[in-house]
Structure 1
Amino acid sequence: MTDTIDRQAFIDAVKFNADGLVPVIAQSHRTGEVLMMAWMNRQSLEETFATGHVTYWSRSRQSLWRKGETSGHLQRLVEAYVDCDGDTLLLKVDQIGPACHTGAPNCFFRKLSEPGE
């Protein structure tokens, strides 16, 4: 089941935390691979919707950060979802180049060798 809502209803459904941020998971639209996790504020979310290019909020720089702006490894928004509680976003994207700043295809490349022990 998927409910489709308009842009304003989507933004209104987002529950930003005390710092005005919401966690965002970026997933490859083509493969379903989880690429990365980052943060958005209302301005970065609105800019993403307005331009179609994913823009995050950099907590370290305290500024907007358009993914791939300097590296060329852009993310183009394909679909956006807000979870049932409104406190997490899932963006399905077309990723150009690697998603991780290390050059890895995604940010989740370190795996626990022996889970549960």
Structure 2
Amino acid sequence: MSSDSSDRTDSAGPAGPSGLDPAVAARLKRNADGLVPAVAQQYDTGEVLMLGWMDDEALHRTLTTGRCTYWSRSRGEYWVKGDTSGHFQHVKSVALDCDGDTVLVRVDQVDGACHTGDRTCFDAGELPLGPAASA
């Protein structure tokens, strides 16, 4: 999962007032902190890049600016991917899953998506599968 130490923006709070379309907001199933996981995927290859967290305002900003905005749980502030690192995520499409509890953001990723600079946060090595799972 992604740490977000390389890109900063401003603080406010999760689940505060937002400009998110009420019809979209009504579909969201948030966790106890008012957040939904947001999976970033490279739009043309399907490569899973990272996971971040969004509240209503972060999703609103993502939908209206074309740049991925996330909520930093560790710092308690919004951050726009690429503002300090230069590793921008240009939004191509946004979808909710069938339960409304996860957002899929298809992006055109510039350079690495991971805070380590790697292309994806999921390249630290696959976990070994047991014999029944690998059959």
Q: TM-score if structure 1 supplies the norm length?
A: 0.88
Structure 1 spans left out of the alignment, 5+ residues = 1-6
Gaps of 5+ in 2: 1-19
Task: Give the whole-Å Cα distance in 2 for the aligned partners of 1:98 and 1:116.
Answer: 31
Note closer, same or farther for the CA distance 1:113–1:46 as it changes in structure 2 (3 Å cut).
closer
Residue of 20, 28, 31 corresponding to 1:17: 31
1:18-46 Cα deviation digits (max 9, x unpaired): 10100010000011100001100111111
Cα contact 1:10–1:82 (8 A) shared by 2: no
Equivalences for residues 78-117 of structure 1 within 5 A? 78-112=92-126, 114-116=128-130
1:47 matched residue in structure 2: 61
The amino acid that maps onto 2:66 is: G
Counterparts of 1:85 and 1:35, CA distance in 2: 22
| Identical-residue share of aligned pairs (%) | 50
Q: How many corresponding residue pairs?
A: 111
Higher RCO (CA-CA < 8 Å; seq separation 6+):
2
SS at match of 2:50: strand
Return the structure number with greater strand share.
1
User: Does 2:71 match 1:61?
Assistant: no
| Residue 29 (structure 1) aligned to one of 36, 43, 67 | 43
TM-score (norm 2): 0.77
Q: CA deviation at 1:116?
A: 1.1
| Whole-angstrom distance in 2 between the partners of 1:58 and 1:42 | 13
Contact preservation (8 Å) 2:63, 2:94: no
Call closer, same or farther: CA 1:34–1:113 in 2, change over 3 Å.
Answer: closer
